[in-house]
Structure formats: structure tokens, C-alpha cells
Amino acid sequence: MKKRDFIRKSLAGFGGIVALPIAGCETKGNQLDGNNENCEISPRETRGPFPNKTPAELMRANIIGDRKGVALLINLKVQSQSESCGNLSGVQVDVWHCDAEGYYSEYGGNRLQQKDLSNEHFLRGRQTTNENGEVSFISIFPGWYPGRAPHIHLDVVKDGDIILTTQIAFPEAITSEVYASSGYKGKEDTPNEKDGVFRGSLAGNMADSVGGNLQDGYTLSKVITVA
């Protein structure tokens, strides 16, 4: 099955989810070079209040679950600074982010998230990097919640230990397009430059590229560098 057909079949049946851009599918592989030319270690960030509880049980590429929103293909590449910035294969990458309304699965019933979603596992997943250090996730564009700029959480796990926790930021021009569309709750209340997590590290957190459109979906690419 061709990659484009796999993506479209994976998204079939999720109302409100549009097809992912074909160009994004075709860039997967050796072409994910990223912008980290100096091989600087990616910023170490907090895992936040809603980390994955059972990541080993969430080994999957399609993390949408029953959530609705604008399609997002997440292409990541992991490299190691201590190994001459070579590709890091055979490590796990965990990702998680909120839905279009700003809610996380696996949590609820507290002051930060009053909506109880403790028995849900949407928008969370784990993949193992291939020989090129790459993983991909089929998702939706994350929403936002008060006090934070839009973001994706990410752990890199080697031999059962977390060797890097970081977060990925989005260009505000792209989030403005998405948040003006149906299903999202309008512009975020915290821009990137005022986000407490991204303060002082935004350049390293920013996605290397985010391309696409509302009709076809978006593709995010990012090179993650560990020590």
C-alpha cells in the first residue's frame, strides 16, 4: 500500500478530518533534513501536568482516536550530538498534545482540566525510530488552553529511560489560519514570545517546517537532537 493511501485510509471515518497533503507524505525518508545545522541539543522542557501514563501500551502511528480537527502529519527525526550528529535508530519517541478544544486525554477532574477524560487515550502515541532516526504520527492540529502557546510534547526514550523531554512550537501565522476554522476556539491567548516554557528557547522549540492548508491538512517536520 502506498504511503498516501495508508494515510487516507487511516483518516477515513473520522468526521471533520481532512486528507493530509500528498507532498507531506512524500517527504518522509532521507529527505527530512531539518534546520538544526549546528547540531545543538534540543531544549529540555517540562513534561507538563499531563504526560503519557502508559506509553508502552500506545505503540501506534495513528493517534487521532475519536477527536476531530484539521489533519496534521508529524514527521520527526532524532539525531545524537555525541555520535557526530548521526541518526539515532531504535529509540522510542512519545508524543502527546491537547485536542482542538484544549483538553488532554487520561486526565480530568482537577482545577487544570475539569472535563474528565481519564479513561480516554486520544492524541497520544509511541513509535520506534527507523534506520534513518525517523518516526511519523497521524494526528490533528492541536488546540490551545489558557496560559500556553500551542505546542506538542515529546519524549525520547532509550532502553527504558527518558533521555530528552522537549516541546515543539508552531509558527503563529499557521495557528491563526487553523484557529479561525470550524471546531477551534479562536486565537490563542498566549503568543509564543510570552509563553513561559518557550521563553529563551523558542528558536530551538520551533518546528523546522509546517506546510499545507485547511483543506488538505498540514505536515510538521522537526529534527530532535539529543546529547
The pLDDT tens digits for 106-137 are 999 888 898 999 999 999 999 999 999 999 99
pLDDT at 154 exceeding the cut of 70: yes
The reported pTM is 0.86
Give 74-95 pLDDT, tens digit per residue. Answer: 999 999 999 999 999 999 999 9
Average of pLDDT values for 186-200?
97
Question: Would you state the pLDDT for residue 32?
Answer: 60
Question: Would you state the pLDDT for residue 17?
Answer: 39
pLDDT at 143 exceeding the cut of 50: yes
Q: Closest by alpha carbon to 203, among 72, 80, 35?
A: 35
Domain that holds residue 136: 3-226
Give 20-78 pLDDT, tens digit per residue. Answer: 433 333 333 334 654 556 799 999 999 999 999 999 999 999 999 999 999 999 999 99
| Percent of the chain topping pLDDT 90 | 80
Q: In what order do the strands lie in the sheet with 92-96?
A: 124-128, 92-96, 151-158, 161-169
Question: Would you state the pLDDT for residue 33?
Answer: 56
The CATH number linked to 157 is: 2.60.130.10
CA distances from 179 to 119, 141, 188 (A): 27, 9, 8
Asked whether the beta carbons of 197 and 43 are under 8 A apart, the reply is no
Half-sphere exposure of 171 (CA within 13 A, CB side): 14
Mean pLDDT value across the chain: 88
Least confident stretch, 47-56, 61-70, 167-176, 200-209: 47-56
Asked whether the beta carbons of 125 and 74 are under 8 A apart, the reply is no
Question: Would you state the pLDDT for residue 109?
Answer: 86
Question: Would you state the pLDDT for residue 36?
Answer: 59
Average of pLDDT values for 212-225?
98
Question: Would you state the pLDDT for residue 111?
Answer: 87
| Percent of the chain topping pLDDT 70 | 84
Give me the number of domains the chain comprises.
Answer: 1
Q: Higher model confidence: residue 29 or residue 11?
A: 11
Question: Would you state the pLDDT for residue 27?
Answer: 32
Asked whether the beta carbons of 25 and 80 are under 8 A apart, the reply is no
